[in-house]
Structure 1
Amino acid sequence: MALIGIISRELGNLTFLVSLDLGSNKFHGNLPQEMANLHRLKVLDLSFNSFSGEVPSWFGFLHQLQALNLGNNSFTGSIPSSFYNMPKLETLNLKFNSIEGQIPKVIGSLINLRVLNLIGNKLVGFIPTSLSNASRLETLEISYN
């Protein structure tokens, strides 16, 4: 829809949201902390925007989240260790950002993870052996790091 601007803090008041798709717009800036109030959220797609700043650690408060798509933005920093608090997560897409550091060991605690896409970031190091605990993993994309 070519929506432009920043995400309002008031979005966090929509606590009954189960799915939020703001992908393929022109949003920018940081994600507001108030989005951590969206406890019922199962699907969050913020891909193909211009969001920046570190990947928020408050995603760990979204315990019902099954799909998180932050691909094709300008997120920086590392993958937060708080992601282990999303036990139902099946899809994690962080492709084409500027995420640095190593793939955290806690990713292996996401036992329902089916898709992990980290293509096109600035990750270094080894694939953590803990990832073998994610026995449902079907797709692992980590090229261009």
Structure 2
Amino acid sequence: MKAGLLATSVCHWVGVTCGSRHQRVKSLNLSNMPLIGKIPREFGNLSFLVSLDLRSNNFHGNLPQEMASLRRLKFLRLSVNNFSGMFPSWFGLLHQLQFLSLRNNSFTGSIPSSISNISKLETLNLKFNSIEGQIPKVIGSLVNLRVLNLMGNSLSGYLPNGLCNGLPILKGLYLSYNKLHGQMPTGLTNCSQLQILSLSDNEFDGPIHSAIGSLTNLQVLDLRTNHFSGIIPQEIGNLVNFVQLAMEDNQITGSVPIFIFNISSLQVL
């Protein structure tokens, strides 16, 4: 009797949503509350949980391994806290996950290859952590990915040339403020739906490839503070949806091509 009363009362707590059939916790939204401490291991018992939002609190410490039991989870937002520890490889067990945001925390380590197991993932936001190592090629197999935000970490190495081969609907690629180097891979043009490409504040070099002119949906191209060289390719004039183009602090030569000023949608240059 007491257990039944407790279950009923939980479903009426602030931030808690229960399923109508089994009265089990389906959604937990504790965002923007002055909550402090670690996530308890008992969270792993919320087996019917579909959505978990703990953003903008003061949680800290590692994420408990028991969260790997949340196999129904589709939405996970833990951003703007003080979580730390290695990026959990067990995220790869959350096969239903569609949205994952860990931005503005202190996660370390590299992105595990198990991330490729989350085949339904649409948004991956790891912005402003301390993640290092290379961008794993397996991210390129997340065919449902629309937003990939890895900016503000310590990622290094080359940008995988085949990254876009399996990302047909990617719209936002944010890699600024890392330690990536090498030339801009021509394979980026396979992300044909790309609207935002942000590569600023890295160590990229070489020319700006003319192939970028085939990204006709591109609205924002941010290449600031790198080592790009050569001239601005005339194919950029094909980008009729351009809103923002940023190329300062590079080794680009020549004058600004007149065709850029013919892009009527361009607001910031």
- Give TM-score, length-normalised by structure 2: 0.53
Separation in 2 of the partners of 1:85 and 1:129? 21
Instruction: State percent identity of aligned pairs.
Output: 72
Any conservation in 2 of the 1:109–1:130 contact (CA below 8 Å)? no
Structure 2 unmatched runs, 5+: 1-32, 179-269
Shift of 1:78: 0.3
Secondary structure of the corresponding residue to residue 92 of structure 2: helix
2:75 is equivalent to residue 43 of structure 1 = yes
How many equivalent residue pairs? 145
CA RMSD of aligned residues (A): 0.6
Give the drift of 1:6: 0.1
Aligned to 2:174: 141
User: Which residue type is aligned with residue 91 of structure 1?
Assistant: T
State the partner residue of 2:200. none
More displaced 10-residue stretch of structure 1: 125-134 or 70-79: 125-134
* Larger Cα-atom Rg: 2
Give distance in 2, aligned partners of 1:19 and 1:127: 32
How many Å separate the matches in 1 of 2:162 and 2:118?
16
Cα distance in 2, alignment partners of residues 59 and 2 from structure 1: 26
Alignment partner, residue 73 of structure 1: 105
Shift of 1:104: 0.3
Aligned position for 2:3: none
Q: Is the 8 A contact 1:9 1:32 kept in 2?
A: yes
Shift of 1:126: 1.6
CA drift at 1:130: 2.7
Tell me the alpha carbon deviations over residues 37-86 of structure 1, each in whole angstroms, 9 at most, x when there is no partner.
Answer: 00000000000000000110000000000000000000000001100000
Query: Which consecutive segments of 4 or more residues in structure 1 shift more than 2 A?
Result: none
Could you say which structure has the greater relative contact order, defined with CA pairs below 8 angstroms and 6 or more residues apart?
Answer: 1
Equivalent position amino acid for 1:59 in 2: F
Aligned with 1:83 (options 115, 126, 144) = 115
Task: Note the C-alpha offset of 1:125.
Answer: 1.2
Residues in 1 aligned to 2:162 and 2:94: alpha-carbon distance in whole angstroms: 22
Secondary structure at 2:76 match in 1: strand
TM, length-normalised to structure 1? 0.99
**Aligned-partner Cα distance in 2 for 1:122–1:81:** 18
Q: How does 1:1-145 map to 2 (within 5 A)?
A: 1-132=33-164, 133-145=166-178
